Amino acid sequence: MTDNPGLVPDTQLSVREVFGLDSDLRVPAFRTPDAHVPEVDPAYRFQHDVTLALLAGFAHNRRVLLQGLHGTGKSSHIEQVAARLNWPCLRVNLDGHVGRLDLIGRDAVVLRDGQQVTEFQPGILPWALQRPVALVFDEYDAGRPDVMFVIQRVLEQGGRLTLLDQNTVLTPHPAFRLFATANTVGQGNLNGLYHGVQRLNHAQIDRWNIVAALDYLHPAEEEAIVLARVPALNDEPGRRLVAQMVALAGLTRKGFAAGDVSTLMSPRTVITWAENLQIFGDVALAFRLSYANKCDEAERPVVAEYFQRCLDRELEPSASA
């Protein structure tokens, strides 16, 4: 599909039927997936407001910025919406090594008819811009200033991209969509939690049509996801244990926000804990291997207190301690 830039969405899906949301919205979609369409996670739970914001991005070509703490599943949320729409989706992590030429492209020496010639090789942005692709910029607020100004061009009305070196102006494909995820909303590292993020100017933020905030799932929904991933725990004792595990994860998130611990438990970490429990058969050992050993040694007493409060047992030190 992405190899055929002429393709456009060829069907409409009911948001109520596909996503289980109380909405009459219908969203354009593709009947046939291709290699760039993410895999559907049947256990994924959609958050109502965020899902509607993302669907508006797909249906009405709105630029959507999704903000939230790490581990809330920002990128996964976009991917799972795209997966159900059969919409090709590409993610680009804007770490400090991604520069302007990585996005735009550069001249490269290639072999043509036995001769070495210099030829312009487009970057990911011109490539995606001309195709039916949802492009996701992860860690958007960690991008370098030169990268931010490149992206700002496609956030403009019409979203045309000028390649100065090629004297070319690219018009976006009708099914090109642009999303981004960020830990902050361009405010920088005010609380010391996210080193490397940048303060973004207001003109940059103002160009995003929709800014949505993603929080952690309700505990009951998170428990349902863990049980779906680890069905061996889906009995009365197992469900009680999973509820305790999710409650402990909630304490780490509150502790992270308060500065008591430097590492929080994401839903992915809880699932890993449950999976490791099946391997080792010991909830405390699985907890240490899945989460506690990632924490600073000075924070271990706080983590042990969380464990004791939620599971009503002491977290014994590891055998090597």
- The runs of H, that is alpha helices, within 70-144 are 74-85, 100-104, 124-129
Q: Could you tell me which residue, 93 or 112, shows the higher pLDDT?
A: 93
Cα–Cα distances in angstroms (integers) from residue 12 to residues 27, 50, 275, in the given order: 5, 20, 38
How far, in Å, CA of 175 to CA of 177, rounded? Answer: 6
Q: How far is CA 241 from the centre of its chain?
A: 28
Per-residue model confidence as pLDDT tens digits over 96-106: 677 778 787 77
Q: In 3D, which of 97, 168, 175 has the Cα closest to residue 135? A: 175
Per-residue model confidence as pLDDT tens digits over 131-180: 999 999 998 888 777 788 778 878 876 777 777 666 678 888 999 999 99
How far, in Å, CA of 51 to CA of 18, rounded? Answer: 12
How far, in Å, CA of 245 to CA of 4, rounded? Answer: 47
User: pLDDT confidence of 189, banded at 50, 70, 90?
Assistant: very low
Q: Are strands 210-213 and 64-67 parallel, antiparallel or unpaired?
A: parallel
Q: How far is CA 210 from the centre of its chain?
A: 16
Cα–Cα distances in angstroms (integers) from residue 107 to residues 24, 74, 151, 164, 300, in the given order: 48, 34, 20, 13, 52
Per-residue model confidence as pLDDT tens digits over 215-235: 888 999 999 999 999 999 999
Per-residue model confidence as pLDDT tens digits over 52-96: 999 999 999 999 999 987 778 899 999 999 999 999 999 999 876
How far, in Å, CA of 124 to CA of 176, rounded? Answer: 13
CB 97 within 8 A of CB 196: no
User: What was the pLDDT predicted at 166?
Assistant: 65
Percent of the chain with pLDDT over 70: 89
3-class secondary-structure state, position 174: coil
How far, in Å, CA of 25 to CA of 18, rounded? Answer: 11
Place of tokens 């994860």: 249
User: What was the pLDDT predicted at 196?
Assistant: 45
User: What was the pLDDT predicted at 123?
Assistant: 80
Per the structure block, which two tokens stand in for 217?
A: 């799932």
Q: Stretch 238-264: mean pLDDT, rounded?
A: 93
**E-strand spans in the chain?**
11-14, 26-29, 64-67, 89-93, 105-112, 115-122, 134-138, 161-163, 168-170, 177-182, 210-213
